[in-house]
């Protein structure tokens, strides 16, 4: 193919439709409209109407009339005639060479259009990500940073660093953030659809962040990366704290007079102020019951407030769980016997120690065992089991009780949430117990999960990191089951 023909293909006969039109009109110097031409060269009439214009402009084809009425015939200008004829001749002799060239041009054009589209999409995505208030990070399945927006860098104090293409672990080295990095790295290798994590940073300034970490999947389900969205919830948490401080103050103030009322009641009932008649004892017993109820609510509120204020997990020490569980189960033996509930403890003799606040840990299992007995009908069974997984200790409290409906499970750890069940209308409770339990477990870097079937029973499982024999830092907890993740 000589240069002139090459030039003619690049600038005039640059598509299959134009090539067909030129060859057909050259061979058939008659007059036809687009519809007629469409039938002759077996192409779409609309496409012919749009492409034939450039042949008119190049002076190869003449046009008579306008719009749908327009007709066309072969009438090249004297300058064009020779090259058109050479082109047609060349095409007759080497049709494959011309068609290969046209095909190459078509592919190249599609590639350019695709690249322009990708560029446009990239600009659009960048504009959206930059204008978002949330921090966004995308990493690939190897943990390398593919994309992040300025708010993300700002929240984590990474401004001025170029993290693109680097391993997230090499960019984020500050202690409190390593847990986040670990969560992001673990996600592609886990079956979870989303992990929610809250973290508080003090450097460069205090900020509380909620991280939602989810996998990016291809159409076939393969995980190709991870998206992390960070939301600044400092203000929300500060307001929560103010509210908790208020609850703490109020419940503290309420407890003293109530304790005094209870003290006098007990003295009254014991006859310290003189013998009471049966008629007098009865209403006083009701007052005692009700003040016990009030005191239990106030104590729960105080516990919850204390936890939020961060006053609870102070006394970290080595705790032998089997002893703690044994003591706690003992506490409930009488209560279980009263309801004819069999209370079992299944704990191996050598259970590794954990590092924990013993009072808090006791609170966790007191609450779970007390609930198991409360929500199990007479003649049922409650079993406390413990085992070591190597890195963690897992304790489960199972019952054969009334169970928790599936729709209530996601809310079971919310403050003040109680399942509405006519069978438990008389069971005393505030709906705060499990919220406190969850706070304590998470403050110990643990995870609490629940499985339940209505009418069959419930199992709460607490997983806590084992104490490292080297005395090193606690390992992070395993990822929670998907149901346990706040989506
Ligand atoms: P409460 O003071 O009401 O017991 P919790 O926070 O301890 O508060 O529990 C919240 C709710 O969860 C309870 O009201 C009850 O409906 C349900 N629940 C907790 N444990 C069990 C269990 N073992 N079996 C059935 N329902 C349970």
User: Would you give the DSSP letter of residue 420?
Assistant: -
Which parts of the chain sit beneath pLDDT 50?
Answer: 469-487
**Per the structure block, which two tokens stand in for 177?**
């953030």
Per-residue confidence (pLDDT) for residue 483, from 0 to 100 = 37
Is residue 434 exposed (0-12), middle (13-18) or buried (19+ Cβ within 10 Å)? buried
Bridge partner list, 209: 199, 232
Q: Percentage helix, strand, coil, to 5, in the chain?
A: 50, 20, 30
Is residue 225 exposed (0-12), middle (13-18) or buried (19+ Cβ within 10 Å)? buried
Is residue 231 exposed (0-12), middle (13-18) or buried (19+ Cβ within 10 Å)? middle
- Residue in 332, 364, 375 to alter for ligand 1 test, most ligand atoms within 8 A of Cβ: 375
Cis peptide before 204 (omega within 30 of 0): yes
Is residue 179 exposed (0-12), middle (13-18) or buried (19+ Cβ within 10 Å)? middle
**Per the structure block, which two tokens stand in for 219?**
């159409």
Quote the ligand 1 centre to 458 CA distance (angstroms). Answer: 10
Domain spanning 315-485, CATH architecture = 2-Layer Sandwich (3.30)
- Residue in 376, 405, 414, 429 to alter for ligand 1 test, most ligand atoms within 8 A of Cβ: 429
Q: Which fold has domain 3-110?
A: Arc Repressor Mutant, subunit A (1.10.10)
457 lines ligand 1 (CB under 6 A): no
Q: Which CATH number fits domain 132-232: 1.10.1370.30, 3.90.180.10, 3.30.450.20, 3.40.640.10?
A: 3.30.450.20
Quote the ligand 1 centre to 208 CA distance (angstroms). Answer: 30
402 lines ligand 1 (CB under 6 A): yes
Q: Of 357, 355, 388, 360, give the one whose Cα is nearest residue 468.
A: 355
Handedness of CA 39, 44, 49, 50 (dihedral sign): negative
Per-residue confidence (pLDDT) for residue 311, from 0 to 100 = 52
CB 407 within 8 A of CB 442: no
401 lines ligand 1 (CB under 6 A): yes
299 lines ligand 1 (CB under 6 A): no
194 lines ligand 1 (CB under 6 A): no
Quote the ligand 1 centre to 453 CA distance (angstroms). Answer: 14
Quote the ligand 1 centre to 27 CA distance (angstroms). Answer: 90
Question: What residues have CB less than 8 Å from 239, skipping those under 6 apart?
Answer: none
């Amino acid at each position: 193919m000589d240069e002139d023909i090459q030039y003619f293909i690049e600038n005039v006969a640059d598509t299959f439709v134009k090539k067909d039109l030129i060859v057909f009109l050259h061979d058939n110097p008659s007059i036809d409209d687009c519809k007629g031409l469409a039938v002759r060269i077996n192409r779409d009439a609309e496409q012919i109407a749009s492409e034939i214009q450039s042949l008119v402009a190049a002076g190869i084809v003449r046009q008579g009339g306008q719009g749908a009425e327009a007709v066309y015939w072969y009438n090249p200008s004297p300058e064009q005639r020779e090259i058109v004829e050479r082109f047609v001749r060349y095409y007759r002799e080497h049709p494959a060479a011309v068609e290969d060239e046209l095909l190459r041009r078509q592919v190249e054009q599609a590639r350019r259009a695709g690249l322009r589209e990708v560029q446009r999409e990239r600009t659009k995505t960048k504009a959206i990500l930059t204008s978002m208030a949330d921090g966004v990070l995308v990493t690939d399945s190897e943990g390398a940073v593919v994309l992040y927006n300025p708010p993300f860098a700002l929240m984590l104090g990474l401004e001025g660093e170029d993290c693109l293409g680097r391993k997230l672990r090499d960019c984020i080295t500050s202690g409190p953030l390593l847990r986040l990095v670990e969560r992001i790295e673990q996600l592609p290798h886990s079956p979870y659809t989303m992990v929610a994590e809250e973290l508080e940073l003090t450097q460069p300034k205090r900020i509380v962040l909620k991280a939602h970490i989810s996998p990016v999947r291809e159409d076939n389900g393969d995980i190709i990366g991870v998206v992390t969205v960070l939301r600044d919830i400092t203000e929300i948490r500060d307001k929560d704290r103010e509210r908790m401080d208020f609850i703490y103050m109020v419940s503290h103030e309420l407890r003293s007079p109530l304790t005094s009322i209870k003290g006098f009641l007990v003295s009254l009932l014991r006859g310290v102020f003189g013998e009471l008649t049966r008629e007098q004892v009865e209403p006083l017993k009701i007052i005692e019951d009700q003040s016990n109820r009030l005191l239990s609510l106030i104590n729960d509120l105080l516990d919850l407030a204390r936890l939020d204020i961060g006053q609870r997990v102070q006394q970290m020490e080595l705790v032998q769980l089997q002893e703690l569980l044994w003591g706690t189960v003992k506490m409930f033996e009488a209560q279980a016997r009263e309801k004819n509930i069999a209370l079992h403890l299944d704990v191996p003799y050598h259970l590794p120690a954990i590092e924990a606040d013993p009072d808090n840990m006791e609170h966790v299992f007191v609450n779970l065992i007390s609930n198991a007995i409360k929500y199990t009908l007479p003649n049922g069974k409650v079993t406390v089991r413990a085992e070591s997984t190597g890195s963690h200790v897992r304790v489960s409290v199972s019952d054969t009780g009334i169970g928790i409906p599936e729709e209530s499970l996601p809310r079971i750890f919310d403050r003040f949430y109680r399942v509405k069940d006519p069978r438990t209308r008389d069971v005393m409770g505030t709906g705060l117990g499990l919220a406190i339990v969850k706070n304590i477990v998470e403050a110990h870097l643990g995870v609490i999960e629940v499985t339940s079937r209505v009418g069959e029973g419930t199992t709460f499982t607490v997983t806590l990191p084992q104490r490292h024999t080297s005395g090193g830092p606690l390992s992070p907890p395993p990822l929670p089951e998907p149901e346990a993740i706040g989506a």
